[in-house]
Amino acid sequence: MLKNLLIKTAFVVLLLMVPLKAEDGYRLWLRYDKISDEETANRYKQFLKGYFIEYDSPTIAIIKNELQTALNGLLGKNISRTDNPEKNNIIIIGSPDRSPVVSSLISNNELINCGNEGYIIKTISTEGKERILITGKSDVALLYGVFNLLRLMQTHSSIENLYISSMPKIKIRVLNHWDNLDRTVERGYAGFSLWDWHKLPDYIDSRYFDYARANASIGINGTVLTNVNANALVLTPVYLEKVKALADIFRPYGIKVYLTARFSAPIEIGELDTADPLNNDVKTWWANKAKEIYGYIPDFGGFLVKANSEGQPGPQNYNRTHADGANMLADAVKPHGGIVMWRAFVYSADDKEDRAKQAYNEFKPFDGKFRENVLIQVKNGPIDFQPREPFHPLFGAMPQTPLMMEYQITQEYLGQGTSLAYLSTLFKEVLESDTHAKGEGSTVAKIIDGTLDRLELTGIAGVSNIGTDRNWTGHTFGQANWYAFGRLAWNHEINSDQIADEWLRMTFTDNKDFVDQIKELMMNSRETVVNYMTPLGLHHIMGWHHHYGPAPWIKDKHRDDWTSVYYHRADEKGIGFDRTQTGSDAVSQYFSPVARKFSSLEQCPEEYLLWFHHVDWDYVTKSGRTLWDELCYRYYEGAESAGQMRTTWNSQQGRIDDERFNRVKMLLNIQYKEAIWWRNACVLYFQTFSKKAIPDDFEKPDKTLEYYMNLEFPYAP
C-alpha cells in the first residue's frame, strides 16, 4: 500500500511539473498571458475597471468575448461589462448611430474620414472621470479598434491620454489560399488545407473561428478560399453550401469570401461547348452562376482569376483579350456588388522575348478598358516572387486601372518551411520603390492605395502560408510574415522594425534583451537569405519544379523560361541577364529616371546588378573586389550570417518556453546546413565559367560540384 501511495504521489508531482498548456504556437500573437511586470499591470488596472456596450450584434458578441478573454488574461482579474456609462475608468464601445451614449461623446463629423472600417480610440475626460472611447461607423470598425487597444496592452504601451484615428489605406485586403479541394496546398509548407471540404457544411472546425479572429486582429477583410489553378467544382451547389458555411462564420469578423473562377467552367460544369467571353450563352451562364452564388452568400466578394498562364484556360483560347474575359465576369457580379481580381501573372512558352516583359506587354495596351469593378492583380516583381526583384514595371504604367499588389507570404523561393526570412523588409522595399510615374515620389504604395491616380477601388493580396500544422505556419517565424502582411495592408507607412517589435512582444515575451536581439535577427534575415541564394540580382536558380535548393545548372527543359541558365546566362566572359538596350531592353518598360538608373552599369544598385546587366568576371564592384570575388564574398557572408542567426537564437534559451525555442533551434540548424549547401553548389558551378579560384580566406567546399548536381528531391513539398 505504501508503495502504491509513493507511486501516486510521484505521479502527481510530475503532473505539477508539466505545464498545463503547451506553448505550441497555436495562439499566434493573441496569447493574452498575464502581464508579468506588476507596475505595468497595475497601471492598466487603474484605467480599466470595466467596459460598456449599449447594444448587441454578432460582431459585438465577438468584441465582448475578446475583451473578457484578453483583459482577464492580461490583468489576472475579472474585468466585466458594466451598465453604467458614467463609471470612471471604463471602456465605452459603440457607433454614434446606434448608441445614444456614444453619440453624446463624439459627433459623426469626427468620424467623417474614417470610412466604414476606420475607428477612433480616445480618452474622454469629464467631471474628473476618465474613460476610453472606441468608436467607428460599423461594428467591424469597433472590432478593429478593440484589437488595437489590446495590442497596446500586449506590448506594454501607454493607454493614457489616447487619441488614435486609424483607417485602412487599402480597401480590399485579402489572403489568397492556394488550397485545392483535395486539401493539398500548392506551395504550402504547413500541412494541409484548413478547409475540410469533405466534412463541411455540417462539421464546423473551431479553427475556422480562430482563423477569422486572427485575421480580424490585423485588419484582413477577405479570403480567397481556393487555388488560382482553379477547379470548377467549387462553383457547383454541393460546394457552394460548404462555402456558405465558411462565409457565415467569417462575416461577423468583417471577412468576405472570394472564389477562384476557372475560365472553362461553362464547359466543365455548365454543359456548354465554349467559354468564349463574347458568346451570349457564356455571358448568360456566368450571370446566372453569379446570381446563384449570391443566393447562398449575399456578401460574396467576387472572383479571382488566373487565365492564359501556365496552362490555365482563358480568353486568349478564343482570340479574345484579357479585357474581354475580365469584363465579362465583372458584368456578371456587378449587380451584386462583386469585383473581379484578374491576375497579371502571364507568360507564354511561345513568346521567346524576355519573360520579365510579358505581363507589361499584354496588359499595358488595355489600360482604361477594364470595367470599374476589375482590379489587375500584379506580383511585386516581374518574374515570380524571387528573394529579390525590382518592382514590377506595370506599377505606374496603367493610371486608369486599379492595380492590386500580390505578395507571397508562403516562402516558395525563400527556403520554404525550414527557413527564417522576415518578409516585411521585402514588402516595404517594393512599397517604397519610386516609379517616377508622375515625377519623383510616385511610389508603388501610392499606386496601390489609389492616391497617385485618384482611384477608389484598391487592393492588396498575400499568398497564404497557413495550414493544418498546430502553429498554423509550420515555422513559428512564418507567423510574423502573416502578421506583417496584415499590418502593412492596413497601413503601409508602418516600418518593419515596429512590426517585428510588436510581433515578438505579443508572440513570445516582453523581455528587452530577447526582443532587441531577435528583432535585429529578423531585420537582417531576408538579406541573409538573398546573399546565400541569389546575391547581386541573380534570380530563379532554384531546384526544378519544386523550387527547393540550389540548381543553377538546370537547362534543356521543354520551355526555356523554366530553366536556370535562361536567367543567369553565365559564360566564360561574365554573368547576368542583359536587360538594357543591348539586350532584351526590359528597362524601357520603366519610366525614364528609373530606366536610366537601371541601364547604367555604374548607377544600377548592386542588388539588381545581374538582373539588368551581363557583367564581366573582372568588373570591379563598389567594394573594390572583382565581380567574381564579390559573388563569392556574398555567398560566404550569407552562409556565415545564417550561422550567426543560429548562435543568436541559442543564446536566448530560458527567455522563452522550451517547446517553441527548440522547434526554432532545429529549423535554424537546417537553415544553416542549407545555406552551406547553397553557397558551395553555386560557387562551384559558377566557377566552371569564371575559371577563377575561390579567394584564399574562404574555406573550400568539402564536396564536388558533381555531388551537388546529382542530389534529387522527388518528394520535396
Helix (H) / strand (E) element for 496: namely helix 496-507
Q: Over the range 558-578, which residues count as b (16 or more CB within 10 Å of their CB) and which as e?
A: eeebebbbbbbbbeeebbbbb
Q: How far apart are CA 33 and CA 31, in angstroms?
A: 6
Residue (of 429, 428, 353, 360) closest to 395 by Cα position? 360
- CB-based burial label for 235 (10 Å; 0-12, 13-18, 19+): buried
Cell numbers standing for residue 688: 566552371
Alpha carbon distances (Å) from 441 to 395, 438, 445, 491: 13, 8, 10, 18
| Cα dihedral across residues 284, 289, 290, 294: positive or negative | positive
For residue 296, the one-letter residue type is: Y
Bridge partners for 126 per DSSP: 129
Torsion of Cα atoms, 504 then 505 then 508 then 514, to 10° = 80
Q: Residue 373: helix, strand or coil by DSSP? A: coil
Distance, in Å, from the CA atom of 174 to the CA atom of 379, rounded to the nearest integer, reads 14
Burial class (CB in 10 A: 0-12, 13-18, 19+), 371: middle
410 and 463 Cβ atoms separated by less than 8 Å: yes
Stretch (H or E) spanning 122? strand 119-126
Cα(443)–Cα(395) distance, integer angstroms: 9
Dihedral sign (CA 473, 474, 477, 478): negative
Kind of pairing between the strands at 163-166 and 403-408 = unpaired
SS3 of 166, please?
Answer: strand
User: Do 474 and 417 meet the contact criterion of CB atoms below 8 Å apart?
Assistant: yes
Q: Is 187 helix (H, G, I), strand (E, B) or coil?
A: coil
Q: How far apart are the first and last CA of the chain?
A: 55
Q: Which residues are catalytic?
A: 310, 384, 412
183 dihedral zone (left: phi>0; alpha: psi -120 to 50; beta):
left
Up-side HSE of residue 386: CA atoms within 13 Å toward CB? 27
Q: For residue 590, give the nearest of 394, 368, 314, 388 by alpha carbon.
A: 394
* Count of other CB atoms within 10 angstroms of residue 642: 26
One-letter identity of residue 662: N
